[in-house]
């Protein structure tokens, strides 16, 4: 579960990126986070992953209190939250298989577990036939599916995607969103930041709209547009 | 472990430089300290044989001359003093020559009564000689102190120079190892970022880089140790081959083996692990 209570965040004194954000995302939920550039979407994600600390207010993620968390607990929080970015962040000199295995090795998984789990995850994202390829031999959509596989492999309860379709054409974007929805159907909490209005409307999920660091709208009634 | 060793080959030149500087540093440390060790032993030997002569006023009677010894013994730093009459002195003097007959008929009165004084601590030679001058009845104080003084000065200079050189070189090799590791981390900054993202602990991320630093330090230490051994044996062999330098008595390297291994290993460990640790700390906090 993700819970923000009256959260503010200032990068520089007097300049607020977030101004009193309160929201709650239940386990197993699917939510889009939308809003114009600079409205604070990435800031919310960094608060969830423990990359930033709130200036005031409280952030709770999967049982961890982010305003009070100790540095050495952060890795364990991150194992509960898989992250996907617009720019994929893959390791180009490792194969598809190795990219996914790398995430398991990083948390000390045994080779036996890795050999059992990686093929299963690659099949889930539809890359089972490309496991020996390198990322630069894949299409953008395939690269993003690989990034999703990596985020999933350690079995996090939550996946957070920051503009996962920002670099993809509409067909591939739809494919990726559908994959995220499938994963959500398997029980993983999903928070997706996006600018793609048509996709948001296509899926008809909960939409949290951010504007100038505040929640402007939060509901199931599609993409919210502001009167600028 | 595997990653750490791979890192060494990835940054061949920097690693090479790091190992070289560590080797140079340790070689100098080793050479200086073994020199100092040998000098200490030599000076100690000299201390045991080094004597000061105090000549007694000719005006004093034999009995008075013999009583000066009590005052001399009271001077600080005097271990013992032996009275040598002018007759004994002449005999010793003659005995040292190959042709004693040449001194037949020499009057002992040309010589003075003297005390042969052994000091407790030779480093206080100058002060003790001044004190001896003050003793009533003593008219002259002579010591064959040049050699001992020379050694002491060499010792002092070596101490200072070696401390400075060692400190500078240690810092340099620390910096170079630190930079090598930093370079290795910079090279894999993307991988490190991903590891952090998926929840790797800092210790886990750090481990291969500490191993890399450790390997670099240890490689330097091992190389330096081998070279030091070779150099030392060569040097001692050469010095012993020259007759006039027989005076210098070097201990065999075997006697230095254990402390040298311990020092080199400790220095290698320190430079390697501390060097990588500091760069990792900086890197991880960015
Ligand atoms: N590291 C930073 N230092 C200072 N200000 C920052 C920093 N990161 C973000 N900001 C500011 O905080 C505000 C929110 O930024 P954020 O990145 O969360 O926006 P966003 O909604 O993700 O925008 P985009 O859609 O362009 O990615 C912006 O005004 C931005 O300029
Ligand atoms: Mg953003």
Condensed to tens digits (0 to 9), the pLDDT of residues A156-214 reads 999 999 999 999 999 999 999 999 999 999 999 999 999 999 999 999 999 999 999 99
B83: which 2 tokens?
């009275």
Q: In this structure, are B22 and B57 located in the same domain? A: no
Q: In this structure, are B184 and B252 located in the same domain? A: yes
Of B190, B200, B202, which has the smallest distance from its Cβ to A107's Cβ? B200
Mean pLDDT of chain A: 94
What's the structural domain count of chain B? 2
A9 lines ligand 1 (CB under 6 A): no
Q: In this structure, are B170 and B272 located in the same domain? A: yes
A49/B197 Cβ within 8 A: yes
Q: Under 8 Å CB-to-CB from A125, ≥6 apart: which residues?
A: A145, A146, A148, A149, A152, A179
Task: Please give the residue range of the domain that contains residue B258.
Answer: 2-46+150-283
* Model confidence at B24: pLDDT above 60: yes
pLDDT of residue B97: 64
A9: which 2 tokens?
């965040």
Q: Predicted confidence band at A118 (pLDDT cuts at 50, 70, 90)?
A: very high
The mean per-residue pLDDT over the stretch A115-119 comes to 97
Q: In this structure, are B40 and B169 located in the same domain? A: yes
Which residues are A69's β-sheet partners?
none
Alpha-carbon distance of B208 to B3, in angstroms, equals 6
Which of A7-21, A77-91, B28-42 has the lowest average pLDDT? B28-42
Which residue would you say has higher pLDDT here, B79 or B47? Answer: B79
A188 lines ligand 1 (CB under 6 A): no
Cβ A212 vs Cβ A39: under 8 Å: yes
Alpha-carbon distance of B112 to B117, in angstroms, equals 15
Dist. CA A40 → ligand 2 center (Å): 7
Q: What is the pTM of this model?
A: 0.74
pLDDT of residue A150: 98
The mean per-residue pLDDT over the stretch B88-110 comes to 70
Chain B residues touching A108 at Cβ < 8 A = 204
Dist. CA A42 → ligand 2 center (Å): 4
For A44-54, how does the pLDDT look when each residue is reduced to its tens digit (9 = 90+)? 999 999 999 99
The mean per-residue pLDDT over the stretch B17-32 comes to 82
Q: 3-state DSSP call for residue A7?
A: strand
* Model confidence at B231: pLDDT above 60: yes
Mean pLDDT of chain B: 79
Token pair 């020499």 is found at B106
Q: In this structure, are B231 and B100 located in the same domain? A: no
* Model confidence at A228: pLDDT above 50: no
B141: which 2 tokens?
């104080």
Q: 3-state DSSP call for residue B10?
A: helix
Chain A residues touching B286 at Cβ < 8 A = none
Residue B102 belongs to what H/E stretch? Answer: none
Chain A residues touching B190 at Cβ < 8 A = 89, 91
* Model confidence at B272: pLDDT above 70: yes
Which residue would you say has higher pLDDT here, A53 or B83? Answer: A53
CA of B206 to nearest chain A CA: how many angstroms apart? 11
Alpha-carbon distance of B234 to B135, in angstroms, equals 50
B41: which 2 tokens?
């032993």
B194/A75 Cβ within 8 A: no
* Model confidence at B166: pLDDT above 50: yes
- Long-range contacts at A6-15 (CB < 8 A, ≥ 24 apart): A6/A56, A6/A57, A6/A58, A7/A47, A7/A54, A7/A56, A7/A57, A7/A58, A7/A59, A8/A54, A8/A55, A8/A56, A8/A57, A8/A213, A9/A40, A9/A43, A9/A47, A9/A52, A9/A54, A9/A55, A9/A213, A10/A55
pLDDT of residue B46: 65
Token pair 């000390």 is found at A108
Which residue would you say has higher pLDDT here, B252 or B51? Answer: B252
CB-CB neighbours of B198 under 10 Å? 23
Q: In this structure, are B26 and B79 located in the same domain? A: no
Which residue would you say has higher pLDDT here, A173 or B270? Answer: A173
* Model confidence at B145: pLDDT above 60: no
Q: In this structure, are B40 and B78 located in the same domain? A: no
Question: Which of B117, B143, B169 is the endpoint of a domain?
Answer: B143
Question: Which of B110, B143, B176 is the endpoint of a domain?
Answer: B143
Q: Predicted confidence band at B138 (pLDDT cuts at 50, 70, 90)?
A: confident
The mean per-residue pLDDT over the stretch B108-123 comes to 78
> What whole-number percentage of chain B has pLDDT above 90?
7
CA of A152 to nearest chain B CA: how many angstroms apart? 10
A77/B199 Cβ within 8 A: yes
Q: In this structure, are B207 and B128 located in the same domain? A: no
Query: Of B79-93, B157-171, B205-219, where does the model show the most confidence?
Result: B205-219
Q: In this structure, are B88 and B154 located in the same domain? A: no
Cα B197 to its chain centre, rounded Å, is: 52
Q: 3-state DSSP call for residue A74?
A: helix
Of B214, B255, B257, B262, the closest CA to residue B22 belongs to B214
Q: In this structure, are B127 and B71 located in the same domain? A: yes
Q: In this structure, are B182 and B242 located in the same domain? A: yes
* Model confidence at B286: pLDDT above 50: no
CB of B191 less than 8 A from some CB of A: yes
Which of B198, B203, B205, B208 is most worth mutating to test chain A (most A CB atoms within 10 A of its CB)? B198
Alpha-carbon distance of B279 to A9, in angstroms, equals 30
The mean per-residue pLDDT over the stretch A124-136 comes to 96
* Model confidence at B4: pLDDT above 70: no
Which residue of chain B is at minimal alpha-carbon distance from A147? B194
Q: In this structure, are B102 and B17 located in the same domain? A: no
What CATH number is given to the structural domain containing B87? Answer: 3.30.70.3040
Which residue would you say has higher pLDDT here, A199 or B1? Answer: A199
Chain A residues touching B198 at Cβ < 8 A = 78-79, 82, 103, 106-107, 150-151, 154
The mean per-residue pLDDT over the stretch A149-157 comes to 97
Which of A106, A107, A121, A154 is most worth mutating to test chain B (most B CB atoms within 10 A of its CB)? A106
Of B161, B125, B130, B124, the closest CA to residue B143 belongs to B125
Token pair 């990034």 is found at A147
CB of B204 less than 8 A from some CB of A: yes
Which residue would you say has higher pLDDT here, B49 or B35? Answer: B35
Alpha-carbon distance of B118 to B18, in angstroms, equals 51
Question: Which of B143, B163, B181 is the endpoint of a domain?
Answer: B143
Measured from the Cα of A210, ligand 1's closest atom is 21
């Amino acid at each position: 579960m993700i819970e923000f209570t009256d959260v503010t965040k200032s990068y520089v004194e007097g300049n607020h990126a977030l101004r009193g954000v309160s929201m709650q995302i239940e386990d197993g939920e699917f939510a889009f986070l939308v809003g114009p550039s600079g409205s604070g979407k990435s800031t919310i994600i960094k608060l969830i992953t423990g990359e930033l600390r709130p200036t005031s207010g409280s952030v709770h993620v999967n049982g961890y209190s982010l305003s009070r968390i100790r540095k050495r607990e952060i890795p364990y929080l991150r194992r509960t939250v898989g992250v996907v970015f617009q720019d994929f962040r893959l390791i180009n000199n490792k194969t598809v298989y190795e990219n996914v295995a790398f995430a398991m090795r990083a948390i000390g998984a045994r080779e036996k577990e890795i050999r059992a789990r990686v093929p299963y995850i690659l099949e889930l994202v539809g890359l089972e036939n490309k496991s020996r390829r390198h990322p630069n031999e894949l299409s953008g959509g395939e690269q993003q599916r690989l990034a999703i596989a990596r985020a999933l492999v350690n079995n996090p309860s939550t996946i957070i995607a920051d503009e996962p379709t920002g670099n993809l054409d509409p067909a591939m974007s739809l494919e990726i969103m559908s994959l995220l929805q499938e994963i959500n159907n398997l029980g993983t909490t999903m928070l997706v930041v996006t600018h793609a209005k048509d996709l948001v409307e296509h899926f008809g999920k909960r939409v949290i709209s951010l504007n100038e660091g505040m929640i402007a709208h939060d509901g199931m009634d599609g993409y919210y547009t502001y009167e600028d | 472990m595997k990653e750490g060793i791979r890192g060494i080959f990835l940054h061949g030149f920097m690693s090479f430089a790091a190992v070289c500087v560590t080797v140079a540093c340790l070689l100098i440390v080793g050479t200086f300290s073994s020199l100092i060790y040998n000098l200490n032993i030599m000076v100690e030997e000299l201390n045991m044989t080094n004597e000061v002569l105090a000549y007694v006023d000719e005006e004093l009677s034999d009995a008075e001359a013999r009583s000066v010894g009590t005052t001399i013994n009271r001077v600080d730093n005097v271990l013992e003093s032996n009275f040598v009459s002018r007759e004994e002195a002449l005999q010793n003097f003659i005995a040292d020559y190959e042709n004693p007959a040449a001194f037949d008929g020499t009057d002992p009165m040309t010589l003075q009564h003297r005390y042969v004084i052994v000091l407790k601590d030779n480093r206080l030679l100058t002060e003790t000689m001044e004190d001896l001058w003050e003793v009533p009845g003593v008219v002259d104080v002579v010591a064959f102190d040049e050699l001992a003084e020379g050694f002491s000065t060499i010792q002092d200079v070596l101490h200072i120079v070696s401390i400075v050189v060692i400190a500078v070189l240690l810092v340099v090799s620390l910096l170079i190892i630190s930079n090598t590791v930093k370079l290795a981390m910079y090279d894999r900054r993307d991988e490190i970022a991903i590891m952090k993202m998926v929840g790797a602990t800092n210790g886990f991320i750090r481990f291969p880089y500490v191993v890399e630093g450790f390997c670099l330090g240890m490689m330097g230490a091992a190389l330096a140790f081998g070279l030091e051994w070779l150099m030392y044996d060569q040097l001692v062999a050469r010095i012993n081959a020259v007759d006039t330098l027989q005076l210098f008595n070097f201990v065999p390297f075997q006697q230095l083996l254990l402390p040298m291994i311990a020092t080199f290993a400790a220095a290698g460990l320190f430079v390697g692990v501390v060097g990588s640790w500091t760069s990792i700390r900086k890197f991880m906090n960015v």
